[in-house]
Amino acid sequence: MKILFVIAPDDSEREAATQLVADLVEALTYRAAPQEWQFLVLADLRDCLEIGLATLGRSASRTVEGGERVRSPLLLLPVGGEDFDNGAENALRHPSNDIPPDSMDNGGTLEDLVQLGAVERHERWTIGSQVMRVDQALELMVDERFDRVLFMAGNENQENLASRLVRPGGDGESDYRVRALDDRSRLDRNRVSPTLWSPLNEDDENAALRETIASEVANAVRLSFLLDTFARGELRA
């Protein structure tokens, strides 16, 4: 089972998309995943970090066996978008001059995740390489095929590129792809928490509280939808 997650870095809904993919990846990996499972994430450096953290604390199952470490099912390929300055990019990817040179401090945060066994580096993510644009990365993967592609928060051209990577044929589910954040019909939050949408005379602080709760309800609704449809069959109860 190979799943591709694409979060285009230049989209305003990227944060919600990142949270959702991280929740889904955590649900897919909370138990040791079969060796043939592979989840590839294309997202910007910071989003890769957040999604990679979803597997932290679960790397115990990826122990060294026969001299080889069991691979993490989560592969990361950072793509560009945000205009990172050198310092921020260093902190995420490379050794940084700002950090004292001891063992754990000597690499970027994403490198640490690789070192900890929480994630694996995609073959096109090499140390020192330039960060690719999302469409560039999708074009370079033209020969790869995925059972599912979850494309979120990007433009039509990028979505078309991603759709070419879906493995054809199969069981009818294999070409499933979702623009999860656009699927408003499935985000009927009122169905879950009617009081959230009651008209109220509220001040800014109450509005902020309401938005936080509404946002978390929406996150849960989206995750349950993806678990029931997109990842159907892959999860053992």
Partner 1 sequence: MNSGWNAILQCETAGAVVQWECLRFVLPSAAVPTRISILSGDQPADPSALSLFKSVQARLQLIAGVPYRCGPARMFDCMASHEPSCEHVLCIVIGHLPVSPRFETVAKSWLNQSPGRSTVIPVLVNGLTPRQAFAGAGHPTLSQCNAVEMGGTSHAVADKILELALVGERPGVFISYLRSEASGAAESIFDGLTRAGYRVFLDRFCGTPGRRFPQELAEAMTGLGVVLLLETASLHKSKWTLWEAAFARRYRIGPLAINFQGAKELRGSMARHRFSSNAAASLMQSEVDASVQFVGRNLTRISLGRRAYYETLIELAAKSRGGSVKRLNIGAVEASDSMGNPKVRVVVSGGPAQLRHMRRLHDLASGTQTLLIAGEHQHLPALSHSDLLWLASSLSLEPVGSASLYRRVRKLI
Does position 85 interact with partner 1 (CB under 8 A)? The reply is yes
Neighbour count for residue 24 (Cβ, 10 Å) = 23
- List Cβ neighbours of 112 (8 Å cut-off, separation of 6 or more): 104
- Looking at residues 203 to 222 of the shown chain, list those that interact with partner 1 (rule: CB under 8 A): 203, 205-206, 208-210, 212-213, 215-217, 219-221
Per CB under 8 A, the segment of 72-80, 81-89, 158-166, 175-183 that binds partner 1 is 81-89
End-to-end CA distance of the chain: 17
Residue type, 22: A
Which residue among 2, 5, 19, 114 contacts partner 1 (CB under 8 A)? 19
- Please count the residues of this chain forming the interface with partner 1, following the rule CB under 8 A: 62
Q: Looking up tokens 């953290």, which residue turns up?
A: 53
Answer left, alpha or beta for residue 170, where phi above 0 means left and psi between -120 and 50 means alpha.
left
Pairing of strands 68-69, 64-65: antiparallel
Q: Using CA atoms, how far apart are residues 62 and 7, in angstroms rounded to an integer?
A: 26
Q: Is 57 in the site for partner 1 (CB under 8 A)?
A: yes
| Contacting residues for 40 by C-beta, under 8 A, at least 6 apart | 2, 3, 4, 5, 75, 76, 77, 122, 146
Of 84, 104, 106, the residue nearest 95 (C-alpha): 106
234 counts as binding partner 1 under rule CB under 8 A: no
String marking each residue 97-126 x if it binds partner 1 according to CB under 8 A: -xx----xx--xx--x---x----------
Nearer to partner 1, 26 or 147 (CB): 26
- Min dist. Cβ of residue 17 to partner 1 (A): 12
State the nearest-atom distance from the C-beta of 25 to partner 1, in Å.
9
Binding residue (CB under 8 A) for partner 1 from 88, 121, 187, 234: 88
Query: CB atoms < 10 A from the CB of 104, how many?
Result: 9
Per CB under 8 A, 15 contacts partner 1: yes
63 lines the binding site for partner 1 (CB under 8 A): no
Site residues, partner 1 (CB under 8 A)? 15, 19, 22-23, 26-27, 29-31, 46, 49-50, 53-54, 56-58, 82, 85, 87-88, 90-92, 96, 98-99, 104-105, 108-109, 112, 116, 192-195, 198, 200-203, 205-206, 208-210, 212-213, 215-217, 219-221, 223-224, 227-228, 235-237
